[in-house]
Chain A
Amino acid sequence: MSLLRLEAVTRSVELPDEEVLEILKGVDLDVAVGDHVSIVGRSGSGKSTLLNLLGLLDKPTSGSIYFDDRLTSDFSANERDRARGAEIGFIFQQFNLLSGRTALENVMTPMLYATGRAFWNRKRLAAEMLERVGLGRRLDSIPEKLSGGEQQRVAIARALVRGPRLILADEPTGALDIETGASVMELLDDVAESSGAALITITHDVNVAARARRHYRLDRGVLSSVEAQRVLEFAERQSASRAAA
């Protein structure tokens, strides 16, 4: 069943000299429930713009985006916000934890916009989620007292606490060392798989991308499918060169 579908999506912006810059060109993508997709691209290839469209943070210039087979352009602003809160979990490269607030408070934050029991039981649910990512003993630690890996675990717990059906991870290991990055990705894969959520990882690291089942490459705004075998070979070569270095 299709969860998120992009059909001929373009996104362009008008530059100060009135020239139009086309960032995404005719992007087609279909993501099903439980899918794991990676999108690899260099800096400036349009990865962040695509992420914003996938996360209902931005609207396409042309083309259609369907969420649960509903055209998202038909959503009101509040509906988009509510859909984003209930169905999509974000994981950012810089973690984007709220400073000064404990791990528990950070994970509780998305629940402030939840409904019913999820809202009223937010503290218990957040504590359970932190326990699940191995931070049951760091509930009261503020981000400044946590390591990079721990911060990303808090971010993962925060992204998953409302039980989203789509997880968008933007360079989830970009700010971590290789070992920590690998363990965080393993955790993310496990948690996403056990919750049945679709996971879209946007990265420039082929080792991270290789963990996905389907692979895409974004180059100058054009999204194209890449065979899994090619990604694995490339990842192995990159690992070998890292080991040699």
Chain B
Amino acid sequence: MKRQSPAAALVGSLAEAWAEVRIHKTRVLLSLIGVAVAVAAITSVAGLGGIAEQAVRESSERSGGRPAMLSVFVSPGRPGGVINGPAMGNAFDTVTERYKITYHSSVLGGSREVQFGTGAAPVYTTAVDVDYQVMHRVAVSQGSWFVQSDERRLAPALVVNDVFWQRIGSPDLRTHPTVSLLGPHPVSAVVIGISGQTFGTDQPAMYMLPSGFAATSTSASSPEEQQAQFEAWVPPSVAKDLEPLIKRDMVAAAGSGAMVQIQRNDYLAFGGDQLGPIKIVVGGIAGLVLFLGALSLVNISLVTVRQRIREIGIRRSFGATAGRVFFAVMMESVVATLVAGAVGVAVSIAIVENPWVQGKISQGNTIDLPPFPIEAAILGLVCAMAVGVLAGLLPAVAAVRFKVIDAIRY
């Protein structure tokens, strides 16, 4: 007797399975709700986990910089010593050229006296280069970040925080609002952008380019300004090798009196999965739901197989081998759970891609919202298939153990 080809056997089994699912759709639907919910939960955990992870990552990158971020500190080796800032800046530029570092910035902190309508007040100021925005994912909610040509402005450009902006009366940035930076030589500065989330403070704060920062320096400037700090964004794979080289070159440029420190500040340098515990808890709950769904599916499948003894007997009388019956019953379960899995994944996509949900998870802090992860969809479908196989196994064994004669007479 000719054996059926594998392709025909597979297509035939799928056709049988699909017919069974189609004809008993109400029963199948009811039994699969649990599976669909569980798959939606598991897939959503993976999908939302990706967004939450990205939000945490971006938040970490805002404060510590993107991996790998090398911070170089140059300070006087003795109290009262002075660092030649411009010379160190030139030295750092040479270093970045030598090691082909594309993104780099000097980072200086200090206070500048700003004239507000309510009076003058000190404002914490960070002086950074243009690249800093990319290196720290600085989000600009209105206006724009610095460009290279801003270095040549006579009125320094400012990117301020919301508090600062509100303090000057929330002007339209298209009107090029200006503020006075007080000191021995007061300077007018132009507000070009607002970065709402950057400073995380309820006090006014602002960014400036180093040229403008230096131009507004006073004798009362903070001790922070007595040291130089630079950052370089390098590939994580070469960060460890670059550290001693950069330090060596900067020590050579700073001279024996200065102290040079170099360290990584990005979140990867500290290791650990910050979302690990949350993922485990939610994943565990989803796994439990999936297990319960599978249990109810096994229960219903076993009852259904008992109801279908005669049908199985009839199929055997028309040439269905025991293996084929086993496979068909198994495929019914797999086809059904895959359909449920697809529904679960679709529900999950609707949840994960919902702007409201994304906003809640990312806390509005995420610039690069990740697309729905394909791995999550695959995970959901694989879980559904695994449940289908496990839930189909017992009924399939039961179906094969019936005697054909008894089955037909049942």
Chain A positions within 8 Å of B, measured between CB atoms, are 48, 52, 55, 57-58, 77-79, 81-86, 90, 92, 96, 98, 100-101, 105, 109-110, 112-116, 119-120, 158, 162
State whether A98 touches B314 (Cβ < 8 A): yes
The verdict on B200 contacting chain A, using a C-beta distance below 8 Å, is no
Interface centre among A58, A96, A112 (most CB of B within 10 A): A112
State whether A96 touches B408 (Cβ < 8 A): yes
State whether A83 touches B15 (Cβ < 8 A): no
State whether B12 touches A82 (Cβ < 8 A): no
Smallest CB–CB gap between A57 and chain B, Å? Answer: 5
State whether A112 touches B1 (Cβ < 8 A): no
The verdict on B175 contacting chain A, using a C-beta distance below 8 Å, is no
Q: Which residues of chain A are within 8 angstroms of B319 by Cβ–Cβ distance?
A: 81-82, 84-86, 110, 113-114, 162
Smallest CB–CB gap between A100 and chain B, Å? Answer: 4
Of B3-11, B132-140, B157-165, the segment with at least 4 beta carbons within 8 Å of chain A is B3-11
Query: Known contacts being A58-B405, A86-B1, is A120 close to B317, with CB within 8 Å?
Result: no
State whether B321 touches A115 (Cβ < 8 A): no
User: Can you report 14 residue pairs joining A to B where beta carbons are below 8 Å apart?
Assistant: A48-B409, A57-B317, A57-B405, A77-B322, A81-B316, A81-B322, A81-B324, A82-B1, A82-B2, A82-B3, A112-B15, A115-B5, A116-B2, A119-B11
Q: Which residues of chain A are within 8 angstroms of B2 by Cβ–Cβ distance?
A: 82, 86, 115-116
Q: Which residues of chain B are within 8 angstroms of A101 by Cβ–Cβ distance?
A: 19, 23
State whether B405 touches A110 (Cβ < 8 A): no
Per the bound structure, the CA–CA distance linking A81 and B316 in Å amounts to 7
Query: Known contacts being A78-B323, A79-B1, A100-B23, is A110 close to B8, with CB within 8 Å?
Result: no
Smallest CB–CB gap between A44 and chain B, Å? Answer: 14
Q: Which residues of chain A are within 8 angstroms of B404 by Cβ–Cβ distance?
A: 52, 57-58
When the two chains form the complex, which single residue of B1, B23, B24, B318 contacts A109, counting CB atoms closer than 8 Å?
Answer: B318
With CB as the reference atom, state the residue of chain A lying closest to B311.
A98
State whether A115 touches B4 (Cβ < 8 A): yes
Q: Which residues of chain B are within 8 angstroms of A113 by Cβ–Cβ distance?
A: 4, 12, 318-321, 324
Q: Which residues of chain B are within 8 angstroms of A78 by Cβ–Cβ distance?
A: 3, 321-323
The verdict on B57 contacting chain A, using a C-beta distance below 8 Å, is no
Smallest CB–CB gap between B383 and chain A, Å? Answer: 29
Per the bound structure, the CA–CA distance linking A101 and B317 in Å amounts to 18
Per the bound structure, the CA–CA distance linking A78 and B323 in Å amounts to 8
State whether A52 touches B321 (Cβ < 8 A): no
How many A-B contacts at CB < 8 Å in the complex? Answer: 87
Smallest CB–CB gap between B9 and chain A, Å? Answer: 9
When the two chains form the complex, which single residue of B16, B320, B408 contacts A81, counting CB atoms closer than 8 Å?
Answer: B320
State whether B310 touches A112 (Cβ < 8 A): no
State whether A83 touches B318 (Cβ < 8 A): no
Smallest CB–CB gap between B319 and chain A, Å? Answer: 2
With CB as the reference atom, state the residue of chain A lying closest to B2.
A115
Majority DSSP secondary structure for residues of A touching B:
helix
Q: Which residues of chain A are within 8 angstroms of B323 by Cβ–Cβ distance?
A: 78
The verdict on B306 contacting chain A, using a C-beta distance below 8 Å, is no
State whether B317 touches A84 (Cβ < 8 A): yes
**With A82-B2, A92-B408, A116-B5 already in contact, 16 other A-B pairs whose C-beta atoms are closer than 8 Å:** A52-B404, A57-B404, A58-B405, A78-B322, A81-B321, A82-B1, A82-B319, A85-B318, A90-B318, A98-B311, A100-B23, A110-B319, A112-B16, A113-B320, A114-B8, A114-B319
When the two chains form the complex, which single residue of A48, A84, A96, A112 contacts B12, counting CB atoms closer than 8 Å?
Answer: A112
State whether B318 touches A115 (Cβ < 8 A): no
Q: What are the 8 tightest A-B residue pairs by CB atom distance, in nearest-first order? A: A85-B319, A82-B1, A110-B318, A113-B319, A100-B23, A112-B12, A81-B321, A119-B8
State whether A114 touches B4 (Cβ < 8 A): yes
Per the bound structure, the CA–CA distance linking A79 and B321 in Å amounts to 9
State whether B321 touches A82 (Cβ < 8 A): yes
Per the bound structure, the CA–CA distance linking A105 and B1 in Å amounts to 25
Q: Which residues of chain B are within 8 angstroms of A120 by Cβ–Cβ distance?
A: 8
Q: Which residues of chain B are within 8 angstroms of A98 by Cβ–Cβ distance?
A: 311, 314
With CB as the reference atom, state the residue of chain B lying closest to A118.
B8
Q: Which residues of chain A are within 8 angstroms of B247 by Cβ–Cβ distance?
A: none
The verdict on B315 contacting chain A, using a C-beta distance below 8 Å, is yes
Q: Which of B307-366 contact A (CB under 8 A)?
A: 310-311, 314-324
State whether B317 touches A90 (Cβ < 8 A): yes
Per the bound structure, the CA–CA distance linking A58 and B319 in Å amounts to 14
Query: Known contacts being A96-B310, A101-B23, is A77 close to B321, with CB within 8 Å?
Result: yes
Binary contact readout B212-250 vs A (1 if CB under 8 angstroms, 0 otherwise): 000000000000000000000000000000000000000
Smallest CB–CB gap between A235 and chain B, Å? Answer: 28
Smallest CB–CB gap between A190 and chain B, Å? Answer: 22
Per the bound structure, the CA–CA distance linking A92 and B1 in Å amounts to 24
Per the bound structure, the CA–CA distance linking A114 and B3 in Å amounts to 9
Per the bound structure, the CA–CA distance linking A116 and B306 in Å amounts to 32
Smallest CB–CB gap between A186 and chain B, Å? Answer: 24
State whether B4 touches A119 (Cβ < 8 A): yes
Per the bound structure, the CA–CA distance linking A109 and B320 in Å amounts to 10
Q: Which of B344-398 contact A (CB under 8 A)?
A: none
Interface centre among A52, A57, A110, A113 (most CB of B within 10 A): A113
With CB as the reference atom, state the residue of chain A lying closest to B315.
A109
Q: Which residues of chain A are within 8 angstroms of B316 by Cβ–Cβ distance?
A: 57, 81
Q: Which residues of chain B are within 8 angstroms of A119 by Cβ–Cβ distance?
A: 4, 8, 11-12
Smallest CB–CB gap between B260 and chain A, Å? Answer: 77
State whether A85 touches B3 (Cβ < 8 A): no
Per the bound structure, the CA–CA distance linking A114 and B12 in Å amounts to 9
Smallest CB–CB gap between A78 and chain B, Å? Answer: 5
Per the bound structure, the CA–CA distance linking A96 and B309 in Å amounts to 12
Q: Which residues of chain B are within 8 angstroms of A86 by Cβ–Cβ distance?
A: 1-2, 319
Q: Which residues of chain B are within 8 angstroms of A77 by Cβ–Cβ distance?
A: 321-322
